[in-house]
Amino acid sequence: MIDWELTWSPYDEPTYAAVLSALRPTDVVLDIGAGDLRLARRMAAIVQRVIAWEIQPDVLKRGLEWSLPTNIAAILTDARHELVPPGVNVAVLLMRHCTTFRFYAEKLAAAGCRWLLTNARWGLGLEKVDLLAERVPYTAVSLGWFACCCGHTGFVPGPAEELTEEVEKLIHEVYDCPKCG
Ligand SMILES: C[S@@+](CC[C@H](N)C(=O)[O-])C[C@H]1O[C@@H](n2cnc3c(N)ncnc32)[C@H](O)[C@@H]1O
């Protein structure tokens, strides 16, 4: 069986552009699963500091073939076992097959990291998750899209006449969804 979470494949330019456009010069960014550092290098040109964690030595080695900017710390490690470094306010998790979304989200929030830029929940496009935002129980959503802290997403069906454009655009941040383990 393939462990998709451990598969290294770079993402497309629109995904990287969405990440880069969400960053500010004062940010301290944690890149979880940084691959060959291609995005970490571009982020480092914009932000204060980038800490890049990658588990696969051969993949990280490619990214170290030429010198790194001084504001990148590239670390060969298993992100599941690391403490979030102090000062990190933005994390990047580009891992469409991530099975550990909840674990990372909770660990980052506990460390005070506010933003998570990720494609792990919706699987395609990038979203900017406010890790410190208020969440409602899944059962409080009567109609519309939801995204759960466990990493699952979906749509709660309801009366068609109530499905306005506004309702369709709204994503409810929830906990205790039917797929929560
Ligand atoms: C889909 S790739 C994306 C790489 C990079 N972010 C990019 O866009 O080019 C996901 C990366 O996460 C790494 N990864 C998966 N699980 C990890 C873990 N527990 N700790 C550190 N890196 C991990 C994989 O080795 C892989 O390089």
Can you give the residue ranges of every domain in the chain?
A: 4-130, 136-175
Q: In the prediction, which pLDDT does 2 show?
A: 65
pLDDT at 33 over 90: yes
Beta-bridge partner residues of 116: 91, 129
Of 3, 4, 5, 51, best ligand 1 pocket probe by most atoms within 8 Å of the beta carbon: 5
For 36-79, the pLDDT digits (tens) are 999 999 999 999 999 999 999 999 999 999 999 999 999 999 99
Q: Is the minimum distance from the CB of 39 to ligand 1 under 6 angstroms?
A: yes
Best mutation site among 6, 75, 108 for ligand 1 pocket (most ligand atoms within 8 Å of CB):
6
The pLDDT of residue 1 is above 60: no
pLDDT per residue over 93-152, tens digit each? 999 989 999 999 999 999 999 999 999 999 888 999 999 999 999 999 999 999 999 999
| Type of residue found at 170 | L
Query: Ligand 1: which of 3, 8, 60 to mutate, judged by most atoms within 8 Å of the beta carbon?
Result: 8
How remote is the CA of residue 138 from the centroid of ligand 1, in Å? Answer: 30
61 CB near ligand 1 (under 6 Å): no
Architecture of domain 4-130: 3-Layer(aba) Sandwich (3.40)
| Spacing, Cα 92 to ligand 1 middle (Å) | 10
- Ligand 1 and 5: CB distance under 6 A: yes
Question: Which protein residue's CA is at the shortest distance from atom 9 of ligand 1?
Answer: 10
Residue nearest to atom 2 of ligand 1 (CA): 8
Q: Exposed/middle/buried for 181, CB within 10 Å: 0-12, 13-18, 19+?
A: exposed
Tell me the mean pLDDT in the region 1-17: 87
**CA–centroid distance, residue 96 to ligand 1 (Å):** 10
